[in-house]
Amino acid sequence: MGNYFRVWDTFFRVVKYTVQGIVRESGKDIWKLLQPIYITVPTSEEWLQIADESNEIFKTPICIRSRDGKQCLNKCPPNAGFLYFNYKSFHSIKLSGVADVNCCFTLIDIGAHGRENDNSVFSNSSFEKAFSSGDLNVPPARNIPGICTSIPLYFVGDEAFPLKPRK
């Protein structure tokens, strides 16, 4: 990204740090404006609709989202030591996300150290804390379609995420 800033600072005849500040401030303003529109907490009814879509498309009853993490290549920040050096032997930051049945991100967390594993990033995210404490309007349980057994709504993930009950 630093190379792009050099192009822009030459083009607009301002120093690189001014361009970085403008990008940072603009990004915050865009987030404040668009986040409430595009990344909202679903209502109880919307969670149930999500579970129905998941069952219809993937045959996973009561599943409400899938989650995973990704290593994003990054230049090591000064004096960061091994915090950003991951198990794949390059420096990175972590993107942790939750996607809907259409493979669109609905919740994201960006910026954890590349050294951290997917589960620790997700476990320390504000989303996980809100989900575990019951602040996300997720209905407590629902019957599996065609069976009279009631189970809690759940997320799917790869082996990095342990099975654990919601509080």
Interval 33-49 mean pLDDT: 85
HEC sequence for 78-138: CCCCCCCECCCCCEEEEEEEEECCCCCEEEEEEEEECCCCHHHHHHCCHHHHHHHHCCCCC
Interval 32-56 mean pLDDT: 86
- Can you give the residue ranges of every domain in the chain? 1-38, 39-157
pLDDT cut 90: percent of the chain above it:
1
Given a cut of 70, whether residue 3 has pLDDT beyond it is no
pLDDT, position 167: 57
> What CA–CA distance (Å, rounded) separates 151 from 26?
44
pLDDT, position 29: 92
> What CA–CA distance (Å, rounded) separates 156 from 73?
25
